[in-house]
Amino acid sequence: MKIKDLVNYWDKHARGRLTRDAYFMALSDQHHQRLEKLAAVYPMKTPQDLLRDLISASLDELETSFPYVQGTKVVAFDEDGFEIYEDEGLTPRFVSLSQKHIQTLKARQLESVA
């Protein structure tokens, strides 16, 4: 999700599964004030909800901004028959670590239910 898509997301009140992990942070006075203004615009969202959504959108955008680094291994061919090489940049590592972390979170959730 892009930052610019957050307004539509907030307007539709999309839902997602949340972890039980909490993070705490101190904001600068300027960012705190801007968050309070945003919360006034969207009174159905708490400042914590807004921060969670902003961080989620930022992480999604960050992942798509990693530069492609062409590897040596051909992984596919495009519609014109040209070779497509594996990405040796940050994206595959980030995706792999994300999947590993999701599996860990799911396992913890199952343990807490049992």
Cβ proximity of 47 and 58 under 8 Å: no
Reading phi first (left if > 0) and then psi (alpha if -120 to 50, else beta), residue 20 is in alpha
Percent of the chain with pLDDT over 70: 89
The amino acid sitting at 65 is: S
Answer yes or no: is pLDDT of 18 > 90: no
Q: What pLDDT, on a 0 to 100 scale, did the predictor assign at position 105? A: 86
CB count within 10 Å of CB 94 equals: 14
Q: Among 48, 64, 47, which Cα is nearest to 5's?
A: 64
SS3 1: coil
Give the amino acid at 77. Answer: F
**Separation of alpha carbons 38 and 42, rounded Å:** 6
Could you read off the pLDDT of 58-96 as tens digits, one per residue? 988 888 888 999 999 999 999 999 999 999 998 999 999
- CB atoms < 10 A from the CB of 53, how many? 19
Nearest to 57 by CA among 7, 114, 98: 7
Would the pLDDT of 14 be above 70? no
If we measure between CA atoms, which residue out of 33, 36, 42, 34 comes closest to residue 10? Answer: 42
What integer pLDDT is reported at residue 70 of this predicted model?
95
